[in-house]
Amino acid sequence: MTSAASIAAIFPGQGSQRVGMGRELYQASPAAAALLDAAESALPGLLELMWHGPDTALQLTENQQPALVAAGAAAYAAYRERGGRQPVIAAGHSLGEYTAHVAAGSLGIEDAVRLVRARGRYMQDAVPAGVGAMAAILKLETSAIEEVLAALNSETRAAGELVAIANLNAPGQTVVSGTANGVAHAVERLKELGARAIPLKVSAPFHCVLMAPAAELLAVDLRAAHFAPAAFPVMSNVTAKPLEDPGDAARLLTEQVTSTVRWVDCMRFMAARADSGPGVRFVEFGAGEVLTNLARRIIQDVDAVALFDKATLEEVSDDSRA
């Protein structure tokens, strides 16, 4: 990476969690330790869960969400403490949008982990177990998927079935969400078109209208939260554009619960916005390399790295100093 390259920060969502995340950074970085201590003060027991599990407890939506926000924000704090260059723009995948706000200074870590703990509970409770489902659809263009879903929803609306695009993760990788029967029927038809479908082990059908009860409850919490002006632009998953006014944050994060995560558009917008000549480096802060791998599928010859432990902290920070 050229030392003058712009930095675009990205923060992962559910699925990146692992027992032990954040522990090395806590030991290696006073800034990360202070942030994680603040998260622990807001949600006592969070660090024990992050570092020791059990994995079955960490997998619960209401636990995954604050754990991932804390880990991602701690990784970013450690990076900046070590002299890493400030991003020119940031985005988070679904849940990760909250982490992006923490990194940008527009939302405090204590408020963020409390909000996403509630968000996780609301989403978990919105649909009874077994009623909803999600599936990853591979090797098929988005336009073809949209046509199939539109036809299916027209046919099955009277029966109360539905299916929608939940995540546009990368070219040839789309996630659908909806009622269990709706998703099953969609998978059958999409396979006929040559798609490969992978059922996802999730506790609820995220990012579709079935999450409306969760969005209504979360809206109350978000309206009570304080969003300050950000140190750098934060992308909205809903619009795939930077948030222009801190006053819009609560509305867009509420809409995000039932809306498609437009990750491909977010990444392409950030690459164009951040590339001011010498190039752009995407740095994924948190636990793992899910978004780093997606970046390599979205943008040709992308410079993308992940920071999640002591070794990657040293490597990424030293190579991205201001």
SS3 per residue for 169-235 = EECCEEEEEEEHHHHHHHHHHHHHCCCEEEECCCCCCCCCHHHHHHHHHHHHHHHHCCCCCCCCCEE
* Residue 292 domain-assigned (yes or no): yes
* Residue 179 domain-assigned (yes or no): yes
Residues 290/308, Cβ–Cβ less than 8 Å:
no
| Residue 16 a catalytic site member | no
Catalytic residue among 6, 16, 29, 94: 94
Residues 96/147, Cβ–Cβ less than 8 Å:
no
**Same structural domain for residues 140 and 28?**
no
Residue 264 neighbours by CB under 8 Å, 6+ apart: 168, 169, 170, 171, 298
**Same structural domain for residues 110 and 136?**
no
**Same structural domain for residues 172 and 313?**
no
**Same structural domain for residues 234 and 305?**
yes
**What is the C-alpha to C-alpha distance for residues 253 and 266, in angstroms, rounded to an integer?**
15
Residue 17 neighbours by CB under 8 Å, 6+ apart: 58, 59, 64, 67, 68, 71, 287
**Same structural domain for residues 136 and 278?**
no
Boundary-marking domain end, from 163, 185, 202: 202
**Same structural domain for residues 159 and 296?**
no
**Same structural domain for residues 170 and 270?**
no
pLDDT tens string 194-247: 999 999 988 899 999 999 999 999 999 999 999 999 999 999 999 999 998 999
**Same structural domain for residues 117 and 148?**
no
- Domain of 55, CATH number, reads 3.40.366.10
- Domain of 165, CATH number, reads 3.30.70.250
Number of other residues whose CB lies within 10 A of the CB of residue 68 = 33
**Same structural domain for residues 88 and 235?**
yes
* Residue 105 domain-assigned (yes or no): yes
* Interior angle at CA 235, CA 233 and CA 236, nearest 5: 135
Boundary-marking domain end, from 180, 202, 224: 202
**Same structural domain for residues 107 and 242?**
yes
Boundary-marking domain end, from 202, 219, 237: 202
**Predicted pLDDT of residue 158:** 76
Q: How far is CA 241 from CA 238, 252, 268, 269, in A?
A: 8, 11, 10, 7
Peptide bond into 242 cis (omega under 30): no
Number of other residues whose CB lies within 10 A of the CB of residue 108 = 17
Report residue 256 as tokens: 């995000």
* Residue 198 domain-assigned (yes or no): yes
**Same structural domain for residues 155 and 193?**
yes
**Predicted pLDDT of residue 277:** 58
Report residue 223 as tokens: 């309206």
* Residue 24 domain-assigned (yes or no): yes
Number of domain units in the chain: 2
Closest CA to 185 of 211, 212, 159: 159
**Same structural domain for residues 33 and 122?**
yes
| Residue 177 a catalytic site member | no
- Mean pLDDT for each consecutive 10-residue tract of the chain (322 residues)? 78 94 97 98 98 94 96 98 96 98 98 98 94 96 96 89 97 97 96 96 93 98 97 98 94 98 97 76 95 96 96 90 66
Catalytic residue among 16, 207, 317, 320: 207
**Predicted pLDDT of residue 2:** 47
Pairing of strands 132-138, 173-179: antiparallel
pLDDT tens string 304-314: 999 999 999 99
* Residue 1 domain-assigned (yes or no): no
Q: Which domain holds residue 236?
A: 6-126+211-319
Give the single-character DSSP code of 133: E
